Structure 1
Amino acid sequence: MTVSLDMTIGERIELLRRRRGLSRQTLASLVGYSSEWLRQVERKGREVDRLSTLLRLAQVLQVKDVAAFMGVAVPQDVVEQLTAEGEPDIRAALLGQRTAVSADAAMQSGDIARLRGEVNSAWASWHHSAQRYSLVRARLPGLLSRVYGCHAWHEARQALPLSAQVHHLASAFLHSSGELPLALLAADRALAEARQAGEALLAAACLRGFGDVLLRLHSPGQARELCVAEAHGLREHEGIASAEAAAERTWLYLTAAEAAAFQQDHHEAERLMDTAEELAQDVRGSELRHATPVTSVDVAAHRVRVEAVLGRTVRALRLAERVEEVEALHREGRVRFYLTLARTHLQVRNQSGAVLALMQADRDCGEEMRCNVYARHLLRQAISQDSVTVRRDLHQLAEKAGMV
């Protein structure tokens, strides 16, 4: 991709951003600035005076000639680092040029039905399969390629929700894999297409995924604000069954509570958790057709997570002991709970408890230690707290993770 040499750096950034399909808010979040800052860079000629920021922009925008883009000399080892790939097939599908679809190639109802079945199957694998990473990694590139023409299928507007679901799944996969810039890009597209389709419940789920990525990108304030605003909007939305609105609002408040915990706002984190718990009591799974199911077990497990983030480890461990029917959670939820438990044990230097929790996560998904970047981080922490009593178990986990 080339840009004119007589363009300002701001004009180059805007051109490349638009070609990559990134919103101004998404790109700004990825480099740690506000959308207003980026608007001033693009439109008002504000200088980007930090080399690290220019390098980050070049990385996110997938610039091949970094030196020409910035107008400075960049060491070759930095260029090589910038062009490293994590999930190449998925990366290529997300960042590749969207293919326009002619009217003759528009999807028929049967094609959409088949695609819907494949999307549902991919999500089921992510939530329930012990091989969820390998199965979803194999399916995502093809699904992304098939839904990228949705904006051109005038006769098949019903395909837009499927495109949103595929991008939402891509974001969840890339988030767990540690590919945060790509995860945010996928989440941004999922949210935009869900809203374009007029699917309020799906948009809420996609926004929650967007918020989860923002938390890992150290933007808890933005995540909290977006989730609370979306929850308020669902409460006032007409035409959505009360139980379904309550389910999605519960998930949004759970994410907002975790964001408040990352900000160390104890009072607000507790208030948001209480709100989520109260809402969850009004949700009956049998009444849900479109919303994401939520149970008291989901809320209890998330409360442990919030307490751990707040640093109240003793309380978190006490609450974890009271979480009943963990097996009622889907596989992804169980893994998340056990990783939270491992993290909490490590905070109090209880290596045996941490290793046991990691082994439980490995039991539920044998790919977790190898593919989940957060599980690998916890495993490294456990290894650093060396203890003879769990050394053998740690070695086995490290072998599964490919660390030895």
Structure 2
Amino acid sequence: MSSDTPPDPYDNPVAFGQRVQIYRTRRGMTREQLAGLLGHHPSWVKKVETGAMRMPRLPEILGIAQALRVRRLNDLVGDLGTAQNTELFLGPGHDQLPAVRAALTAFPAGGDRQAPSQAFLRAALDAAWDARHKAPNHRAVIGALLPGLIRDTQLGVRQAETAAERRNALRLKAETYFLAQFFVAYQPDPALLWRVADRGMNAAQESEDPHAVGVAAWLSAQAHRDSGQYDEADDVVQQALRLLEPRLSDAEVEVRAIVGALRAEAALTAAKRRETGAAWGWWERAERVAEELPDGYFHRVTSFGRPVMGAHGVTVAVELRAGGEAVRQAAGSETVIIPSLPRRARHRIEQARAYQLDGQPDVALATLEQAHAVAPETTRYNGYARAIVLEETASRLPERRQRASRLAVDIGLLAA
């Protein structure tokens, strides 16, 4: 083994700080990047890693685990003789994941059968998106559909006879990968997530369809930002906006919506960096696009539209660590109904983050219970929801601790 290879944390018992450094190095993350994700100075990370400070409190440990995508708490803190060997931020792994992974890794699609018509595939994808937004357990629904869609859209590209047919086939293939990225996100296979994102971008670019390229950029930016790669997230968003914004005045509604969604992504990345002016500036630019969309419009991939802008406002304030503003945004968006059940549940989770940040843990738990009632799988796989629940299971107040423990069982953090 190369001397540059990070050691395995299980080779020998190692201190908490050493484990943090090992996992950070394995993810290719600098101290500055980890500090940015945690809202600390790089010197704080250095003190943690070198043992110059005591092991942080549970909320800080959970933040580190989430930033480093550590699957089990014991992997980070070592064996504390407790029952905390829980699955955390990558999700427990869906039953359909092996079948989806097999379809994604089987290349090229083989067989002599005729690919379904493009009209059939278009209808199948429309039905899949509709099911994703309406099903409380949307991963189970789209996980069952994805293997067939992946094979059929790959076959459709191979059998296209004209340039126009090939471009349309590539659009359908890209959209299938977009759907797959929603399934793969927050599950225990980060490499598969990047493979899906990359293939979606490649198919979109080959299709030469501006809307598909914009959606691929939107998804790629999220993957980069969740990994602490803020420069890369910004770069892909700005490249897509340079392509799409000159066409905005006479663009179709879907292209206008993806421009708004990309601007919202720029706002969230700026908020992660604690750049208050830039974050709200991008949010306002996204809101201007939303206000010009038709009444009731809802983008089926990004969920962008007028109703979702309040949800984005909550997230921007939370990422800026502005508790009071986050709660104000949460209250202001309370009456807005987001059409998609998973997106509505995620908005509830962001509201819960706002209340937790503002020192209202009981309201945060109640809001997470609402999120779980709307879309259980969204709550089960969301790292922020899991972190809040796990933190409150250690509350000093018995009623809050019991409430958090019940929710921890519901979302699969603790055994029943």
Distance 1:272 1:116 in 2: 33
The verdict on how the C-alpha distance between 1:388 and 1:330 changes in structure 2, with shifts beyond 3 A counting, is same
Give the aligned partner of residue 138 of structure 2: 132
Residue in structure 1 matching 2:213, options 174, 194, 203? 203
Is the Cα–Cα contact under 8 Å of residues 349 and 379 in structure 2 kept in the other structure? no
The verdict on how the C-alpha distance between 1:290 and 1:308 changes in structure 2, with shifts beyond 3 A counting, is closer
> Deviations for 1:157-204, whole angstroms, at most 9, x for unmatched residues?
222211111100111121143543322221221121122112211221
Distance 1:328 1:31 in 2: 35
The verdict on how the C-alpha distance between 1:90 and 1:124 changes in structure 2, with shifts beyond 3 A counting, is same
Give the aligned partner of residue 255 of structure 1: 265
Distance 1:266 1:330 in 2: 29
Give the aligned partner of residue 59 of structure 1: none
Residue in structure 2 matching 1:347, options 339, 349, 357? 357
Distance 1:283 1:178 in 2: 37
Residue 118 (structure 1) aligned with residue 124 (structure 2): yes
Q: TM-score scaled to structure 1, two decimals? A: 0.72
> After the TM superposition, which residues 211-290 of structure 1 pair with which residues of structure 2 at under 5 Å, given as runs?
211-237=221-247, 241=251, 243-285=253-295
Distance 1:242 1:142 in 2: 30
The verdict on how the C-alpha distance between 1:401 and 1:286 changes in structure 2, with shifts beyond 3 A counting, is closer
Is the Cα–Cα contact under 8 Å of residues 190 and 206 in structure 1 kept in the other structure? yes
Give the aligned partner of residue 318 of structure 1: 328
- What letter matches 1:233 in structure 2? L
Distance 1:171 1:226 in 2: 17
> Deviations for 1:215-235, whole angstroms, at most 9, x for unmatched residues?
111112211221122123112
> After the TM superposition, which residues 84-163 of structure 1 pair with which residues of structure 2 at under 5 Å, given as runs?
87-99=97-109, 105-107=113-115, 109=117, 112-155=118-161, 156-157=165-166, 158-163=168-173
The verdict on how the C-alpha distance between 1:360 and 1:179 changes in structure 2, with shifts beyond 3 A counting, is farther
Is the Cα–Cα contact under 8 Å of residues 180 and 213 in structure 1 kept in the other structure? no
- What letter matches 1:93 in structure 2? A
> Deviations for 1:230-284, whole angstroms, at most 9, x for unmatched residues?
1231122389625443211110000111011112222211211111112222111
Is the Cα–Cα contact under 8 Å of residues 161 and 197 in structure 1 kept in the other structure? yes
Give the aligned partner of residue 358 of structure 1: 368
- What letter matches 2:342 in structure 1? E
> Deviations for 1:114-146, whole angstroms, at most 9, x for unmatched residues?
222222222122222112121112222222222
Is the Cα–Cα contact under 8 Å of residues 223 and 259 in structure 1 kept in the other structure? yes
Residue 303 (structure 1) aligned with residue 313 (structure 2): yes
What is the percentage of aligned positions where both structures have the same residue? 23
- What letter matches 2:137 in structure 1? Q
- What letter matches 1:99 in structure 2? A
Cα offset, 1:376, TM superposition = 2.6
Which structure: greater helix fraction?
Answer: 1
Distance 1:328 1:172 in 2: 18
Which segment drifts farther, 142-151 or 189-198? 142-151
The verdict on how the C-alpha distance between 1:326 and 1:304 changes in structure 2, with shifts beyond 3 A counting, is same
Aligned length: 322
The verdict on how the C-alpha distance between 1:32 and 1:361 changes in structure 2, with shifts beyond 3 A counting, is same
Distance 1:227 1:213 in 2: 12
RMSD: 2.9
Is the Cα–Cα contact under 8 Å of residues 194 and 203 in structure 1 kept in the other structure? yes
Distance 2:249 2:368 in 1: 43
- What letter matches 1:200 in structure 2? P
Cα offset, 1:92, TM superposition = 2.0
Cα offset, 1:377, TM superposition = 3.1
Structure showing greater relative contact order (alpha-carbon pairs closer than 8 Å, 6 or more residues apart):
2
Unaligned runs of 5+ in 1: 1-29, 35-83
- What letter matches 1:216 in structure 2? D
Q: TM-score scaled to structure 2, two decimals? A: 0.70
Unaligned runs of 5+ in 2: 1-25, 31-91
- What letter matches 1:398 in structure 2? A
Which segment drifts farther, 226-235 or 176-185? 176-185
The verdict on how the C-alpha distance between 1:152 and 1:216 changes in structure 2, with shifts beyond 3 A counting, is same
- What letter matches 1:263 in structure 2? R
